[in-house]
């Protein structure tokens, strides 16, 4: 398969050399782990342990509701270490620092070594999506989307995403250098669970050591029944690792707006997720992940294996602590990362990078100029949008016009901001537009539902009224017939009596 490439994008300085120069190190878990029950966007887990319970490493502590709907499985949550549940507390979410959600607090038992407990149900190589959900698998590339829910659709191609395109982040590269065999084993598990016919492993050409490691594995082990794997070394270009862009780069196909990648026969999984799938097939739940800690703001940049729920502060301490220059703390890379107001946040499954930057991008009193319509933003936009037109719509508060021009296809990669000579915060405005549109959709759906409810109520009332009417009519008929009878009897009586004037029949009607 020839690489097709994707539209736009930009080659950026990588800054990953320091990180991959050292092997992955184990970071000590925090004394108290905070495990978020709010996972991917609308996926809320409910705890299945009680305060005061003693738990062991790998034990399920929270599960999705049974009826999350649409065939979805979600991803379960496990205790990373032995310890005791000491509480449940609302805390800001690391993926959305302005929102809060419940976190389970687990005090780690210090004496216990970090054991690798077997999961009960998982021992075979043939894993069903449900089993992956029970092992807690979700997208480790950053999105934290439950992996099992991606595997419901039958596809022909599994794209294994190792195209770690955002500067500074190197957790996938580090993982591949050290555990390429496990990653490829996990890829087989994932491919079989969605019946994929082939696996396309995408790496970027700057990841030379990871490429060597993968090639070494691919050379030696070829099982007969294995799904064939092809390695693609793509030219390094941000945002290649964005699922939709990677699909376009490898297949030349575009996923229609609002649809799942299965619409073009593809599912994309991160290499870290594949690694977790391999561990799951050996009975190990997803309780730890590799996090890149880097930037000029930390003393010892590197990849660290850390227990989920550990705090950012403790992880940075493991990486030698902050330097003098530390000014901005990011979860994720410099282009799409979320800035945290402080370091008391708990790392979750999607947290791939802790980046501490020195330079603050926006100088004091910066004046944004008007758009000069140079079109540089459209040139780099991987979604082929025309940000300059969208910006006009944003200025004019015409959200529906922006929708027609495709703002919902914006992946918020941040490149338009980066190249804009007028320094307009385009990405922020598009994010706001998308949010406004999403809310109006939501409202519209609610209104639609309300209208349907109202119409149904009217229909019901109408039906009830009709039923009552017929009932009444029937009753009336009966009453009528009864009164006619009565009248006749009365008449007869009267006739028989022959003395009185008869008016009983009239009043009965």
Partner 1 sequence: MKHFDIANAPHLPIRPTVSRVMLWVLIALLSGIAVQTWLFGIGVLLQILIALLFALGIEAVFLRLLQRPLRPALLDGSAAVTAVLFALCLPPLAPWWISALGLLIGIGLGKQLYGGLGYNLFNPAMVAYAAMLISFPAHFGHWPAPLLDDPLSSTDVLRAIFIDPQSALPWDTLAQATPLDQSRQARLQNLTLGEWQSRAIWSAAQPKAWQMLALAWAFGGLLLLWRRVAAWQVPLGVLAGVLLTATPLWLSAQDQAWSPLTHLGFGGLMLAAFFIATDPVSGCVTAKGRWLFGLGVGALTILIRQFGSYPDGIAFAVLLMNAAAPWIDLHTRPRYYGEPT
Q: 250 vs 335, which CB is nearer to partner 1? A: 335
**Sign of the torsion formed by the C-alpha atoms of 260, 264, 266 and 269:** negative
Count of residues binding partner 1 (CB under 8 A)?
A: 69
Residues 291-320 interacting with partner 1 (rule: CB under 8 A):
313
Tell me which of 108, 132, 357, 380 binds partner 1, using CB under 8 A. 357
Q: Rule CB under 8 A: is residue 342 a binding residue for partner 1?
A: yes
Measured CA to CA, the distance from residue 299 to residue 297 in angstroms comes to 7
Q: 58 vs 301, which CB is nearer to partner 1? A: 301
- How distant is the alpha carbon of residue 148 from its chain centre? 12
The residues near 468 (Cβ < 8 Å, ≥ 6 apart) are none
Q: Residue with structure tokens 């009267």?
A: 494
Q: Rule CB under 8 A: is residue 256 a binding residue for partner 1?
A: yes
Query: Residue 207 Cβ, how far from partner 1 at the closest point, in Å?
Result: 21
Tell me which of 94, 171, 177, 378 binds partner 1, using CB under 8 A. 378
Distances from the Cα of 409 to the Cα of 10, 252, 264, 402, 404, angstroms: 18, 17, 17, 11, 10
Q: Rule CB under 8 A: is residue 385 a binding residue for partner 1?
A: yes
CB distance 288 to 177 below 8 Å: no
Q: 74 vs 337, which CB is nearer to partner 1? A: 337
Q: State the pairing for strand pair 198-204/157-162.
A: parallel
Q: 204 vs 412, which CB is nearer to partner 1? A: 412
Element (DSSP H or E) covering residue 214: helix 208-220
Burial class of residue 341 in the structure, from the number of CB atoms within 10 Å of its CB (0-12 exposed, 13-18 middle, 19+ buried): exposed
Q: Rule CB under 8 A: is residue 422 a binding residue for partner 1?
A: yes
Tell me which of 58, 427, 433, 434 binds partner 1, using CB under 8 A. 427
Q: 15 vs 40, which CB is nearer to partner 1? A: 15
Q: 229 vs 383, which CB is nearer to partner 1? A: 383
Query: Residue 297 Cβ, how far from partner 1 at the closest point, in Å?
Result: 9
Which of these segments, 20-28, 205-213, 302-310, 365-373, binds partner 1 (CB under 8 A)?
A: 365-373
Tell me which of 202, 335, 399, 433 binds partner 1, using CB under 8 A. 335
Q: Rule CB under 8 A: is residue 164 a binding residue for partner 1?
A: no
Q: 107 vs 260, which CB is nearer to partner 1? A: 260
Measured CA to CA, the distance from residue 275 to residue 183 in angstroms comes to 4
Measured CA to CA, the distance from residue 155 to residue 139 in angstroms comes to 18
Tell me which of 257, 450, 461, 486 binds partner 1, using CB under 8 A. 257
Q: Residue with structure tokens 């690489």?
A: 3
Q: Cα angle at 321 between 319 and 322, to 5 degrees? A: 125
Query: Residue 244 Cβ, how far from partner 1 at the closest point, in Å?
Result: 7
* DSSP codes joined into one string, 407-442: GGG-----HHHHH-TT---HHHHHHHHHHHHHHHHH
Instruction: Say if residue 239 is preceded by a cis peptide, omega within 30 of 0.
Output: yes
Q: 369 vs 445, which CB is nearer to partner 1? A: 369
Residues 166-185 interacting with partner 1 (rule: CB under 8 A):
167
Tell me which of 117, 328, 483, 505 binds partner 1, using CB under 8 A. 328
Binding map of partner 1 across residues 77-106, x = CB under 8 A, - = no contact: --------------------x---------
Which of these segments, 109-117, 219-227, 280-288, 374-382, binds partner 1 (CB under 8 A)?
A: 374-382
Residues 224-253 interacting with partner 1 (rule: CB under 8 A):
244, 248
Of 275, 299, 245, 268, whose CA–CA distance to 177 is shortest? 275
Burial class of residue 455 in the structure, from the number of CB atoms within 10 Å of its CB (0-12 exposed, 13-18 middle, 19+ buried): exposed
State the residues that interact with partner 1 by CB under 8 A. Answer: 7, 12, 97, 167, 244, 248, 254-259, 313, 322, 326-330, 334-344, 357, 359-362, 367, 369-376, 378, 382-386, 388-389, 405-406, 409, 412, 414-415, 417-423, 425, 427-428, 431
């Amino acid at each position: 398969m020839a690489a097709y490439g994707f539209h736009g994008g930009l080659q950026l300085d990588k800054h990953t050399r320091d990180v991959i120069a050292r092997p992955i190190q184990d970071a000590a878990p925090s004394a108290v782990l905070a495990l978020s029950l709010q996972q991917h966007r609308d996926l809320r887990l409910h705890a299945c342990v009680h305060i005061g319970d003693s738990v062991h490493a790998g034990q399920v502590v929270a599960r999705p509701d049974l009826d999350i709907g649409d065939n979805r499985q979600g991803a379960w949550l496990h205790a990373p270490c032995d310890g005791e549940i000491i509480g449940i507390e609302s805390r800001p979410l690391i993926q959305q620092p302005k929102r809060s959600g419940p976190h389970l607090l687990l005090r780690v038992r210090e004496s216990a070594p970090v054991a690798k407990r077997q999961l009960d149900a998982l021992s075979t190589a043939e894993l069903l999506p449900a089993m992956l959900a029970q092992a807690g698998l979700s997208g480790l590339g950053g999105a934290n989307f439950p992996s099992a829910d991606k595997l419901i659709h039958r596809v022909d191609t599994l794209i294994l995403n190792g195209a770690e395109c955002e500067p500074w982040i190197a957790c996938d590269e580090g993982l591949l250098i050290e555990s390429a065999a496990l990653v490829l084993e996990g890829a087989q598990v994932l491919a079989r669970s969605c019946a994929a016919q082939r696996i396309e492993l995408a790496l970027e050409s700057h990841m030379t050591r990871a490429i060597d490691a993968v090639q070494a594995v691919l050379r030696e082990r070829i099982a007969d029944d294995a799904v064939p794997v092809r390695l693609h070394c793509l030219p390094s270009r941000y945002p290649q690792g964005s699922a939709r862009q990677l699909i376009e780069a490898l297949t030349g196909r575009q996923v229609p707006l609002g649809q799942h990648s299965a619409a073009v026969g593809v599912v994309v999984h991160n290499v870290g997720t594949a690694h977790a799938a391999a561990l799951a097939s050996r009975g190990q739940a997803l309780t730890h992940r590799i996090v890149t800690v880097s930037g000029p703001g930390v003393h010892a940049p590197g990849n660290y294996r850390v227990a989920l729920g550990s705090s950012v502060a403790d992880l940075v301490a493991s990486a030698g602590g902050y330097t003098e220059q530390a000014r901005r703390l990011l979860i994720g890379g410099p282009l799409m990362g979320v800035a945290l107001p402080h370091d008391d946040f708990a790392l979750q499954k999607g947290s791939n990078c802790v980046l501490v930057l020195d330079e603050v991008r926006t100088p004091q009193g910066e004046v944004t100029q008007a758009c000069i319509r140079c079109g540089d933003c459209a040139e780099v936009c991987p979604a082929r949008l025309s940000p300059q037109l969208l910006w006009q719509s944003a200025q004019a508060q015409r959200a529906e016009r922006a929708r027609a021009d495709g703002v919902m296809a914006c992946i918020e990669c941040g490149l338009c901001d980066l190249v804009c000579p007028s320094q307009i915060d385009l990405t922020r405005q598009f994010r706001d537009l998308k949010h406004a549109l999403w809310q109006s959709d939501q409202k519209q759906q609610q209104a639609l539902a309300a209208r349907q409810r109202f119409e149904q109520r009217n229909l019901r009332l109408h039906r009830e009224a009709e039923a009552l009417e017929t009932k009444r009519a029937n009753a009336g008929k009966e009453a009528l017939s009864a009164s006619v009878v009565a009248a006749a009897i009365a008449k007869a009586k009267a006739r028989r009596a022959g003395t009185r004037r008869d008016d009983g029949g009239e009043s009965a009607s």
